Amino acid sequence: MDWQGQKLAEQIMQIMLLVSAVISFVAGYVLGSFQMMMIIYAGGVTLTALITVPNWPFFNRHPLNWLDPIEAEKHPKPQVAGSSKKKGSKK
């Protein structure tokens, strides 16, 4: 998941859980059944988990552009203290 995807997943999770809570409470109150409220809420939580927790492709629409490996070789990392300093210009 990319950064945008993580933010999206969190938002979807919060909204879906709140909506499930409201729907299940109203349904339970109107039907006069505590059990129905619990069942609907559990269903809502499971649905939310299925949508927001796994790493679905639509969460990866803004992928990060990692540096190309060949490009990285042209600009080696400077050596750690001990040997001479290499002047490597990093872009």
Partner 1 sequence: MHSFGYRLNGLLTFALTILALMCVITSLSDNFNTPSPSADIKITNINWFQKQPQGHDEVSLTMNVSADLQSLFTWNTKQVFIFVAAEYETPKNSLNQVSLWDAIIPAKEHAKFWIHTSNKYRFVDQGNNLRGKKFNLTMHWHVMPKTGKMSADKIVLTGYSLPEEYR
By the criterion CB under 8 A, which residues form the site for partner 1?
1, 6-7, 9-10, 13-14, 17-18, 21, 24-25, 28-29, 31-34, 37, 41, 45, 48-49, 52-55
Question: Residue 21 and residue 28: Cα distance in Å, rounded?
Answer: 10
Q: Which CB sits closer to partner 1, 19 or 72? A: 19
Instruction: Tokens for 86, please give them.
Output: 């290499």
Q: Which CB sits closer to partner 1, 32 or 69? A: 32
CA distances (Å), origin 82, targets 24, 66, 76, 78: 66, 30, 17, 11
Question: Residue 77 and residue 80: Cα distance in Å, rounded?
Answer: 9
Helix (H) or strand (E) holding 60: none
| Smallest distance, partner 1 to C-beta of residue 6, A | 4
| Smallest distance, partner 1 to C-beta of residue 17, A | 6
| Smallest distance, partner 1 to C-beta of residue 37, A | 7
